[in-house]
Structure 1
């Protein structure tokens, strides 16, 4: 059991790193697009033009959507979500722990439900051939990381609701 917990924690951390890498790719893409716009301004002085990256906005939207979801399991593991503890601040540690576990269980249920619904939507989108307008990229491949992220988030939240708290350096 302890090995499974350690493995789950590591998978969540590696998945978040992959999501961060994806978001860094979006930053690089944005920098490249800004450079093309600047180059177009300079080229305009000489009667020439430089095209911006075609479909940039679509690609950024699809990649940010996937990358942001990839951060959620690790955020849950590290208890990085917003907590309003005005009421529980003075409660006994046992009560706070029970509330934390209950909330983690509710997060697990919500994330699992969202994973199922998003998976169904991705399958339906693939069957219907839904694609982006400019680049004609199918939407469903960009939803796969979100489905995996939600499933992983559900597992991490379930682990926190049922098992011991994560180590301080997880």
Structure 2
């Protein structure tokens, strides 16, 4: 039997739940990356058409704004799972490993709480926007469709944050 080594930043892969969360977070980040590529191509097309033919794509800014929101929220679970968030450890450099582990656990729990709140409010906001029939100003695109990915992404971020808190609490986190 060949065992896969666990490298720094990948302690989460040592367990089946960690592997599942890693796969889901990577798929979501890939989808976000594809959205980012699409809005980049859209912007390049609009700029080219504006520069050479004086015929920009009307509403391109609306699409870029919607796409950026989707892309950013899609990257958050993988960032949390890979411990890519910025931490300021100036006050804990000389602290014991147990103190740092406790603070990391608390940080992950706070992230989970914020993500849970954002998931809940995203559902309410999306349903409210749908029921009001709100549309973008120039293109008339229903706004709810661009808000739909937010709740699942924040829900995954909540689960990932709870998982990383559990790893930190048990001393299996990457920064312990």
Q: TM-score range by the shorter chain?
A: 0.7 to 0.9
- Superposed, which structure 2 residues align to 1:1-170 within 5 Å? 2-40=15-53, 50-163=54-167, 165=172
Higher helix share: 1
User: Gaps (5+ residues) in structure 1?
Assistant: 41-49
Q: TM-score, normalised by structure 2?
A: 0.85
Residues 134/84 of structure 1: CA separation in 2 closer, same or farther (3 Å cut): same
Which structure would you say has the larger Rg? Answer: 1
Stretch of structure 1 that moved more, 142-151 or 119-128: 142-151
How large is the Cα RMSD of the aligned pairs?
A: 1.8
- 8 Å contact 2:35–2:67 — kept in the other structure? yes
- 8 Å contact 1:77–1:166 — kept in the other structure? no
The structural deviation recorded for 1:167 is 7.3
- The number of equivalent residue pairs is 159
User: Gaps (5+ residues) in structure 2?
Assistant: 1-13
Find the aligned partners of 2:144 and 2:133 in 1 and give their Cα distance: 9
Q: Deviations over 1:53-75 (max 9, x none)?
A: 01111111111111111011111
